[in-house]
Structure 1
Amino acid sequence: MAKVAFLGLGVMGYPMARHLQAKGHEVTVYNRTHAKAERWVSENGGRTARTPREAAQGQEIVFACVGNDDDLRQVTLGPDGAFHGMGAGSIFVDHTTASAEVARELYAAAREKGFGCIDAPVSGGQAGAENGVLTVMCGGDADVYAKAEPAIMSFARASRLMGPAGAGQLTKMINQICIAGIVQGLSEGIHFGKKAGLDIEAVLDVISKGAAGSWQMENRGKTMNQGKFDFGFAVDWMRKDLSIVLGEARKNGASLPVTALVDQFYADVQKMGGNRWDTSSLIARLEK
């Protein structure tokens, strides 16, 4: 068991920190809105800190899950950032979905200060965080990852080191590329079936057992058919992720025509007022 801090108690971080505490780790939490950190402690135990720097002091592992690159730099490198409180030999594990660029930047800063850094974005959404079954994609040094992995597995079903710093974020980008294409294809299939007058639930039940089957079909197909889009991972967040993906593609020369197109389809959903709808709401723009 380790002394750990968790920075960021959003829809993902709140339950992830809870799993760490439940597994016996000694947890200190920080959140920009301090009242939320106090509520977490009232429900789970542990203690709060007023700044990331204070939260990080004396900890073996500092976890973070915040909004974007700028938020991440603020809680790590800012005046009261965690990197100013972490000691030599400690480890920073970042679960934010962010750019590979910021992952490498933080890795270099951590090495200069004498501690380890792992970029570790997650997949599985709010339900995966709540149930402790996230998939974690990591980048960094093998020896540092080996020390952090047992604590990461407090809220994960699977975790793997994918390569050097930034490799975790690059793997998460592939994850989002694949999701975007699958959800658009599923949206078009359900839309087509409705226009053809078929029983969509029966169709999904049959084709989910064959080559068309996917996690999205199993978990979102019926609700997409019903027009229900309130499952946690919002369109706004997906557009943020796809912006990172497309920015990286411009750097490495990858051609992502479908991803770019689906990103614009999500922009259409935002114009419909669906900013906080689940990503499966792509079907809504076909049926408006």
Structure 2
Amino acid sequence: MANVAFVGLGVMGYPMAAHLSRAGHQLNVYNRTASRARQWVEAHGGRAFATPAEAAAGQDLVMICVGNDDDLRQVVSGEQGVLAGLQAGAIIVDHTTASANVARELAGLSAAKGVGFLDAPVSGGQAGAENGQLTVMVGGEEAVFDLARPVIAAYARMVRLMGPVGSGQLTKMVNQICIGGLLQGLSEALHFARCAGLDAEAAMQVISKGAAQSWQLEHRHQSMLAGDFDFGFAVDWMRKDLAIVLEEARANGAQLPVTALVDQFYADVQQMGGGRWDTSSLIARLNRGK
């Protein structure tokens, strides 16, 4: 069993840390809203600390799951950040969806202190975190990955090293490109079925057994038909992720016309007041006036 710190107890981090505790690891936790950390400790044990540095002190691994590049820099390399508390030989595993550039930047700062660094964004959403069924795509050195993998396994159904630092974030970008395109296609299909006078639910049952089958179709079509979006991965966060994708595409020359268009469709949803709606709410902009 490892001594682990978990930094960031949000919608994803809270249940991920709980899985680590249930697996027998000794946990220190930190959250920007201190009451959230105290709540976690009351439910799962461990100790809450006032700063990332204090939570990281003496720990073998530090798992991080925060909001964006700036949040990540603050909790890792800030004056009271994780690196201020870690000793050489420890490992940082960053589960934040962030840019590949910030992963490389923080890996360099970590290496200067003799600390390993893995960028390890996740896919599977809140349900995947709660059920311990996340997919974890990792960038970093193989030797560091081999040490961290058994700990990550507490909340993952798939963990894979994709290449050097930054590769995990690049793979998560591939994931978000696919999800955005799939949800726009599913939105249009459901909208078309209704406009054509079909039983849209029956249509989904039929095509889900053929080549159109996808996780999004299986798990989202009913809530999309019902106009229920008050759950899941928020549009605001998806736009944050797609901004990272599009910036990376400009740098590497990839052409992403559909992704750019879907990003603007999500901007429409935000204008409709749906910033906190699930990403499947793309259908709402098609149904306006219907």
TM-score (norm. length: structure 2): 0.99
Could you say which residue in structure 1 is the equivalent of 2:128?
128
User: Could you tell me which amino acid in structure 1 is paired with residue 156 of structure 2?
Assistant: A
User: Could you tell me which amino acid in structure 1 is paired with residue 279 of structure 2?
Assistant: T
SS of the residue aligned with 1:86? coil
Separation in structure 1 between the aligned mates of residue 91 and residue 287 of structure 2, nearest angstrom: 48
1:230 Cα shift? 2.1
Q: Which runs of 5+ in 2 are unaligned?
A: none
Separation in structure 2 between the aligned mates of residue 210 and residue 87 of structure 1, nearest angstrom: 53
Separation in structure 1 between the aligned mates of residue 77 and residue 36 of structure 2, nearest angstrom: 23
Q: How many residues align?
A: 288
Asked whether 1:212 is paired with 2:212, we answer yes
SS of the residue aligned with 2:182? helix
1:214 Cα shift? 0.3
1:119 Cα shift? 0.1
Q: Which runs of 5+ in 1 are unaligned?
A: none
SS of the residue aligned with 2:186? helix
Could you say which residue in structure 2 is the equivalent of 1:74?
74
Separation in structure 2 between the aligned mates of residue 279 and residue 231 of structure 1, nearest angstrom: 9
Could you say which residue in structure 1 is the equivalent of 2:113?
113
Stretch of structure 1 that moved more, 67-76 or 227-236: 227-236
Separation in structure 2 between the aligned mates of residue 49 and residue 155 of structure 1, nearest angstrom: 23
Asked whether 1:49 is paired with 2:49, we answer yes
1:247 Cα shift? 0.4
What CA deviation, in whole Å up to 9, does each residue of 1:107-164 have, x standing for no partner? 1111110010000000000000011000000000000000000000100010000000
User: Could you tell me which amino acid in structure 1 is paired with residue 234 of structure 2?
Assistant: A
Separation in structure 2 between the aligned mates of residue 230 and residue 185 of structure 1, nearest angstrom: 21
Could you say which residue in structure 1 is the equivalent of 2:40?
40
SS of the residue aligned with 2:238? helix
Could you say which residue in structure 1 is the equivalent of 2:282?
282
Could you say which residue in structure 2 is the equivalent of 1:172?
172
% identical equivalent positions: 67
User: Could you tell me which amino acid in structure 1 is paired with residue 21 of structure 2?
Assistant: Q
Alignment root-mean-square deviation, CA: 0.5
User: Could you tell me which amino acid in structure 2 is paired with residue 181 of structure 1?
Assistant: G
Moved segments of 4+, more than 3 Å: none
Could you say which residue in structure 2 is the equivalent of 1:196?
196
SS of the residue aligned with 1:228? coil
Separation in structure 2 between the aligned mates of residue 82 and residue 32 of structure 1, nearest angstrom: 13
What CA deviation, in whole Å up to 9, does each residue of 1:79-132 have, x standing for no partner? 100011111111000000000000000111111100100000000000000110
1:232 Cα shift? 2.0
User: Could you tell me which amino acid in structure 2 is paired with residue 287 of structure 1?
Assistant: N
User: Could you tell me which amino acid in structure 2 is paired with residue 147 of structure 1?
Assistant: L
Could you say which residue in structure 2 is the equivalent of 1:271?
271
SS of the residue aligned with 1:153? helix
SS of the residue aligned with 2:10? coil
Could you say which residue in structure 2 is the equivalent of 1:17?
17
User: Could you tell me which amino acid in structure 2 is paired with residue 104 of structure 1?
Assistant: R
User: Could you tell me which amino acid in structure 1 is paired with residue 187 of structure 2?
Assistant: S
Separation in structure 2 between the aligned mates of residue 190 and residue 117 of structure 1, nearest angstrom: 43
SS of the residue aligned with 2:254? coil
Separation in structure 2 between the aligned mates of residue 55 and residue 253 of structure 1, nearest angstrom: 41
What CA deviation, in whole Å up to 9, does each residue of 1:50-79 have, x standing for no partner? 100000000000000000000000001001
1:231 Cα shift? 2.4
User: Could you tell me which amino acid in structure 1 is paired with residue 256 of structure 2?
Assistant: L
What CA deviation, in whole Å up to 9, does each residue of 1:170-219 have, x standing for no partner? 00000000000000000000000000111111110110010000000000
Separation in structure 2 between the aligned mates of residue 5 and residue 22 of structure 1, nearest angstrom: 14
